[in-house]
Amino acid sequence: MSGRLTVIGTGPGNAAQTTPQARAAIAAATDFFGYAPYLDRLDLNNRQTRHASDNREELARARAALEMAAAGRSVAVVSGGDAGVFAMAAAVCEAIEQGPPEWRRLDLEVVPGITAMLAVAARVGAPLGHDFCAISLSDNLKPWALIEERLAAAAGAGFVIALYNPISRARPWQLGRALELLGAILPAETPVVFGRAAGRADERMAVVPLADARADMADMATCLIIGSPETRLIERDGLPPLVYAPRSSVRACR
């Protein structure tokens, strides 16, 4: 079997933040599967073919890519950010687990990329400098009650929380509910970073206290970073504040 499948994280959207490893993997592939806006970011030649699909078709996309790779093609599955963070690497592994035996014998490589929370964190300081977690607010693949349980547990344990998929037309209420839940656990002055389109031309960064955070400050291009009670803000004359998590913690165990 001579086919090959590469799952590529292209970064948050700024070409300078696509790694050399990812660029080399893109240059080597013949066929590209992914969400259309992600494929549109690639500079492909006339010997390379796009196979675009909707954002909610991850498993079908993975199966189609695996079928083509099994037929001997050099196939790339493309994700924005990092392919292993709420993205296509997990869908490809799921398809392989459920699929025919020949898919397990394919030459498979996952190429990492800069994920949204890292790009946002770098723009505002070091809010992920101590323990943190990432939670997706999408309930397409898990119940909302589980999301609330995880938010409460993470906030109660003192984790900084990166929120992915915060809001969409189909889910207009969930970020508001998440902020309400976190507001009942965390201090009102806890810094919240709204990082939209980090590194792109339409980037927008805002840092507000949790008490002032609102759902209408985000869209699906936004990654939020919710600080912990230990998160610090350094004010600077004429410059945006720096947000950081101290490297040590004095938090007492319960």
- Domains defined along the chain, listed by start: 4-114 (3.40.1010.10), 117-244 (3.30.950.10)
- pLDDT at 55 (0 to 100): 77
Low-confidence residues of the chain: pLDDT under 70: 1, 252-254
- pLDDT at 20 (0 to 100): 97
Burial class (CB in 10 A: 0-12, 13-18, 19+), 228: buried
- pLDDT at 250 (0 to 100): 74
Return d(Cα 35, Cα 64) in angstroms, integer. 13
Hey, is 138 helix, strand or coil?
Answer: coil
- pLDDT at 252 (0 to 100): 62
Return d(Cα 112, Cα 58) in angstroms, integer. 18
Strand partners, 194: 206, 224
- pLDDT at 122 (0 to 100): 97
* 126's tokens: 């070091």
- pLDDT at 170 (0 to 100): 84
Return d(Cα 196, Cα 88) in angstroms, integer. 21
* 23's tokens: 């660029």
Residue with tokens 């709420």: 86
Query: Could you give phi then psi for residue 61, rounded to 5 degrees?
Result: -65, -45
Hey, is 107 helix, strand or coil?
Answer: strand
Q: Give which of 58, 18, 16, 17 is closest to 35, Cα–Cα.
A: 58
Return d(Cα 118, Cα 19) in angstroms, integer. 14
* 138's tokens: 């999408």
